[in-house]
Structure 1
């Protein structure tokens, strides 16, 4: 009996393990907002820029601090024959402090330069967040199109499959040509090919989305049409572009480069060092009095006499670096302005086309397909006209979906430029 119980226990455990793989997992439909949140939480680039900003901020504090003073301690003029500290009046114990002061305002300027770099890293983090949202939204919207297009194609395929059966029945009754049957099979096969291509593109977009979402990218997509924040209507273009995070990052780099030019110009000024030393003497004078202790104070000055090959070249190099930063900022402004003008135009035209499809084309294509089917069943029209009407309706439905999705994609690109009000 024990063997039967042990055997049945093993079977139950095996069935439990197998069922854990066979039974479907509880899943949820992924919407655009969830996708954005998951991507922002998983992106390491944003965290990297923020860490870089904190690093520069800490370095700025360090750069604004004077160099550490140097302690000097030693015995001087000790006779080697006796090592006595009282025999020779010049024997001394010296304790001193030496402090170097950087040239001009180089300390303050280096601190400012590093603070600008910290601000640039912060702006890059904000730009990366906007850029990530734009890319994630674009990928999700393309994926949404493929999933809905697959449903539309499948619905059309079911209709065409019915047409194939109707055509075969009419051909058997002598009321249709063999060419009609062949044409119906051909269109059905072409729909299968279109469905395969849609599935292939869907897999590609899911793979792209998985770099942010991992396994969640392969789940179900919420059927409701995605919604994005509205783009502001009244836009001050100059103010908008100059305050864009990518431009602010370039501007901070320009200021950092200009500050570095001023740092290099401080090399024309002398560097100063100060030294104070206490000198302890041992023993007594001839009259029996203690030998007096001494003090030394000294100032050292670096004199920049030969500046042609070092200071002049450093200033020239940093000035050219500042020019490079300015050119980069100007180029970024032009790129953003081109993007803004292009996407505003695209968004406007797609909105007009969306209204046209909504108010006229979609209904007209559906009515035309229905009328063609009724006419074909009544023997009034040819099969070619019926198939053309069905394909036209399919193309109109897919194009209507494509326009709506592309309008949202243009809106996502505009939100990258104008800034997302929900961030």
Structure 2
């Protein structure tokens, strides 16, 4: 039976980064993954350009049952620390919007950087290794794959959540947690598009139409682009608000967040009463959206002069306070992350070690930590991995 100082299960962002830190710190490290290649989710992220962190990172950008849990790790390995590593490899990057940093040449650069970092530490990586059984005796964890057995004092679970099952996502990490008496907050798809109710499917005719909006639910609001799709609503603003949405919640959408429609229409009612309502609204909103919506409300041929004050109030609510009730979400298939996961009450925020099982660690998305859209989930991967490695390296 081969023995290592640490075994990391999961060759994604958190697992590779943790393994590299441990290896370079002098530990013998094995990484196991059931996939054909390392960093599969990294390669898919950010449209293939990997939104690897954000210029502004704070605990307020994360959701968890314990909102203070992320603070320690984020403060000890910051976004600037990872940016420095990226720069040291000559990887050029750009800010897209809202502090989001992307590789100029592609996500493969981040994967290659992590692979090189692992090589520097002498990390052994074994792929296509489905872990079957894990047991713990007084000192060691014993890990059984289809054809080999491994032994370690430090077992790191970096298997991610349930999002993007096509890339090999599974509940493995949650099952290990439960095996060792650690609770799991029920997982669900997050940073995910909404789907139409039957009564709203007429809007699928607007597929491809995009516009800036403000979406709100549960006292949280996000302003960014929204995209109509065949299945429902997507785009950055919708993905962000999905983090806070619960089934049955209404989402309020302001389709014209930078204008006051009432003021515009009242002024035009005086100055240009013969203007068609459709013409006016098309100055501010996509024409296809205006035509569909006004046809639905039988206002398509109205001129401004015909609008009563009640009509103005109705239009104001329609445009600025559209009450959208999602049928649900597109689920894990298209979700960027998983909300919920290993309960952080059972985990040390300083080292990521299970409080009740010495030598067992959980890092990255497998934990009940969900970041906003925009590089925050990758930063959590780097920060939690570093905290874990530091904890193992500092063990007496």
- Per the normalisation by structure 1, the TM-score is 0.22
Bigger Cα Rg: 1
**Structure that is richer in helix per residue:** 1
- Per the normalisation by structure 2, the TM-score is 0.23
